[in-house]
Amino acid sequence: MELVTAEEMREMDQRTITSFGIPGVVLMENAGRGATRVLMEQFGDLENKKVGILAGSGNNGGDGFVIARYLFLKGVRPTVFLLTQKEKVKGDAALNLSLLAPLNIEVCEVTDTAAFQEKKADMAHQHLYVDAILGTGLNSDVRGHYKDVIAFVNEQKKNVLSVDIPSGINSNTGQVCGISINADVTVTFAFAKPGHVVFPGAQYAGKIEIIDIGIPHHIRDDVKPNHFLITDQLVRKTFPVRAPETHKGHTGHLLIIAGSPGKTGAAALTSMAALRTGAGLVTLGCPKNLNPVLESLITEGMTYPLPETKNGNLSELSFDAILNLMADKKCIAIGPGIGTDPSTKKLVRKLVEESRITMVIDADGLNCLSGHVDILKTASIPVIMTPHPGEMARLMGTDVNTIQKNRIAIAREFASTYHVYLVLKGAKTIIAHPDGRVWINQTGNPGMASAGMGDVLTGMIAGLVAQGLSPEDAAVSAVYLHGKTSDTLSEEIGPVGYLASDIVKTIPEQIRRMLALHDNENRTVFSKRLFKTRQTIDII
């Protein structure tokens, strides 16, 4: 499912108006009419109720004026609180503003802090609010009386419907620009925006409903959105389906390089997750002294003892043995629990430079590359990297706060610069591809904040690559399935306390549930409800 940036949406609107011939005022009419329908559906009988429409000077305000007109015709009592002077409203918005006077719809100009104080009592007496203040073009902090009005509306604890995006949210990043409307429902037009589905924007947007306003499909295809939401039906299409005669030689052999003293669990979780996801064979390369322990932990996998340092970490002397182990493998996963011994760091860097099979790098494997990320450009094979924000910050020589403020752009830039597939973990995991496309995951929950979850994801991604999925499909499918499995456990066991090992055990059942829906796929695609989590997105 496509997600469209503010810039892409403006281009689509403009092309629809200029090249396809639908006037902007018609698009605005379609938007306002659809938003009114959602408002009436979501908030019940509004006849004779007071609805305060908070409007800015732009097209977002224009949508609000259309909503006011349709509400009036349905017996609702709208009042428009215009946060600027009437003469500053231009274009199609000005036309729709002019249509309110013949209907005697009240328009109160709230042009500054003094005017806001004067009208505050009237604004407080509304039963609910429509937020049509700022729209998707915001990229700086909200200031002045706009800020005061937003804070006031949030304090009222009344239902709010936001038009396109809650005022105060950057539609491309989901970041709060100082302050934001806290909406119960957000009605957006043609496509959802990245800011609707990534945090913190997702917390403010509430339920998302998408209104078709008439953007032709060919214009969408010409603009080619680069952001996508992962859905059930997408993952079902990419997941490997086995022929009846399949045997383990057909389902891939994965090599995992993992483990160090005190971190055998990471190696075992990665190995078992790959097997549970369907990899036919798994060989775990580990420090020699840990081999007996890991043999007992992963009875269905194979282990291979490798040269180690005096501290028990993997030594760079393992390099030749690992190259030999790669010979019949489809993928190598490296990093879980390997530590950052200087010799281990040299080993990881040499493997990145010399590997001839797809590589998944996680955890300490990522930390071993800190300060040396340019060697990624020398890799001759696809590389999938799975950092959490702290690891990402170390790779880029910055801090976690910087990463979290602009997750999408940072992930895309890194993936494009270093020609890797980047899985930036966290709430709403971001998957960036070397060609600039970005996928956003919606599965998962706070119960995943527990040790070993990342090791499981690494095994799942590598296990799917071993089975023949492309790096792109493997990363997207594994991230989605990982979160979906966690959601199932959260519902069945409890919101916290389930373990990474519980995820591993539940993977096959989650795959079964996903594939069982295959027969209903066409019905699902055309259903209004695309998915249901704590946040929902509907297409109207």
Give the span between the Cα atoms of 428 and 268, in whole angstroms: 26
Predicted local distance difference test score (pLDDT) of residue 537: 58
Judge whether residue 296 has pLDDT over 90: yes
Predicted local distance difference test score (pLDDT) of residue 528: 31
pLDDT band (50, 70, 90) for residue 64: very high
Give the span between the Cα atoms of 539 and 359, in whole angstroms: 38
Predicted local distance difference test score (pLDDT) of residue 185: 98
Predicted local distance difference test score (pLDDT) of residue 239: 84
Judge whether residue 215 has pLDDT over 60: yes
Q: Among 208-222, 231-245, 471-485, whose mean pLDDT is lowest?
A: 231-245
Predicted local distance difference test score (pLDDT) of residue 243: 87
- CB proximity list for 68: less than 8 A, separation 6 or greater: 51, 53, 78, 80, 100, 105
Structure confidence by residue, pLDDT tens digits, 495-515: 999 999 999 999 999 999 988
Element of type H or E holding 114? helix 113-124
Predicted local distance difference test score (pLDDT) of residue 536: 53
> Range(s) for CATH 3.40.50.10260 in the chain?
2-225
Predicted local distance difference test score (pLDDT) of residue 525: 32
Q: What is the DSSP letter of 83?
A: S
Give the span between the Cα atoms of 442 and 448, in whole angstroms: 13
Tell me the percentage of the chain whose pLDDT exceeds 90: 92
Give the span between the Cα atoms of 451 and 457, in whole angstroms: 12
Helix, strand, coil % over all residues of the chain, rounded to 5: 50, 15, 35
CA triplet 538, 425, 385: central angle to 5 degrees?
125
Judge whether residue 533 has pLDDT over 60: no
Judge whether residue 538 has pLDDT over 60: no
Closest listed residue to residue 169, CA positions, set 139, 132, 129, 210: 139
For 392-403, letters b (16+ CB in 10 Å) and e give bbbbbeeeeeeb
- Which structure tokens are listed for 111? 């042009």
Q: Does domain 2-225 have CATH number 3.40.250.10?
A: no
Structure confidence by residue, pLDDT tens digits, 110-169: 999 999 999 999 999 999 999 999 999 898 999 999 999 999 999 999 999 999 999 999
pLDDT band (50, 70, 90) for residue 44: confident
pLDDT band (50, 70, 90) for residue 516: confident
> Range(s) for CATH 3.40.1190.20 in the chain?
239-467
Over residues 283-289, mean pLDDT: 98
Tell me the percentage of the chain whose pLDDT exceeds 70: 96
Over residues 297-311, mean pLDDT: 97
Predicted local distance difference test score (pLDDT) of residue 521: 46
The stretches of 291-360 forming alpha helices (DSSP H) are 291-297, 319-325, 342-354
One of 3.40.50.2300, 3.30.413.10, 3.40.1190.20, 3.40.50.2020 is the CATH number of 239-467, namely 3.40.1190.20
